[in-house]
Amino acid sequence: MEEYKLTMHDERDTIELAQNIESEKFPNMVICLYGDLGSGKTVFAKAFGHAMGIDGVTSSTFNIIKEYNGELPLYHMDVYRVDNNVENLGIEEYFDKGGVTIIEWADLIKDYLPEERLDIRFKVIDENTRVLVITPHGEKYENVCGDII
Ligand SMILES: Nc1ncnc2c1ncn2[C@@H]1O[C@H](COP(=O)(O)OP(=O)(O)O)[C@@H](O)[C@H]1O
Ligand SMILES: [Mg+2]
C-alpha cells in the first residue's frame, strides 16, 4: 500500500496541508488522525475547519463529537476519553451523513473505522518539526493524495 511521508517544518506547514486536503473534500470523507498529545492533530482539524468556513474548531474533553456547519457539515471527534462508550456514541452513523469526519486518536476506535479513509500519523521530531505518514485507503483517497502531494 502506498504511503506518503512528509516533513512539517512548522505549524504553518501542517495548516497548509490541511487546507490542501480540504480543497479536495467530498461528502462522507473520513480523516483519521493518530499521534501523541501535542503532535498537531487539533492544529490540522482547526485549519481544515477554517478552510471550510468554520471558525472555532476546538478539542473538548467533554464532547467527544462536535458538529459544525460549513460548506459541508464537519464532524470533529476527539475520542481520547472514549473508554467503553464507543457503542453508545453511534460513531458509524456519521460516516455516511454527507459531511466530513475528522477523528483524533482514531487508534482508540479502530474496530469502528470505515475501510475507506485517509490515515494521517503525526510524529514529533522536535519543537516545530513533525513527520506525517499519510496512508490513503481506497481510490478516492488515493486520488486526493495524488492531487495534493
Ligand atoms: N509542525 C507543526 N505542526 C503542528 N503543530 C505544531 C508544529 N510545530 C509546533 N506545533 C505546535 O504543537 C502543538 C500541537 O497541539 P495540538 O494540535 O493541540 O496537538 P494534539 O491535538 O495532537 O494533541 C501546538 O501548540 C502547535 O503550535
Ligand atoms: Mg487534540
pLDDT per residue, tens digit, the chain (149 aa), is 789 999 999 999 999 999 999 999 999 999 999 999 999 999 999 999 999 999 999 987 778 999 999 999 999 999 999 988 888 899 999 999 999 999 999 999 999 999 999 999 999 999 999 999 999 999 999 999 999 99
Question: Among all ligands shown, which has an atom nearest to the Cα of 11?
Answer: 1
Question: Among all ligands shown, which has an atom nearest to the Cα of 39?
Answer: 1
* 115 vs 44: CA distance, rounded Å: 22
Reference 149, options 24, 26, 9; nearest CA is 24
**134 is written with which cell numbers?**
499519510
CA of residue 56 to ligand 2 center, whole Å: 13
* 39 vs 103: CA distance, rounded Å: 14
In the chain the domains, ranked by start, together with CATH numbers, are 11-114 (3.40.50.300)
CA of residue 106 to ligand 2 center, whole Å: 11
* pTM of full prediction above 0.75: yes
Identify the pLDDT of residue 40. Answer: 98
Beta strand segments in 2-143, E: 4-8, 29-34, 65-69, 73-78, 100-104, 117-124, 130-137
> What are the pocket residues of ligand 1 if the criterion is a CB atom closer than 6 Å to any ligand atom?
8, 10-11, 13-14, 35, 37-43, 59, 104, 128, 130
Identify the pLDDT of residue 84. Answer: 84
CB–CB of 87/18 below 8 Å?
no
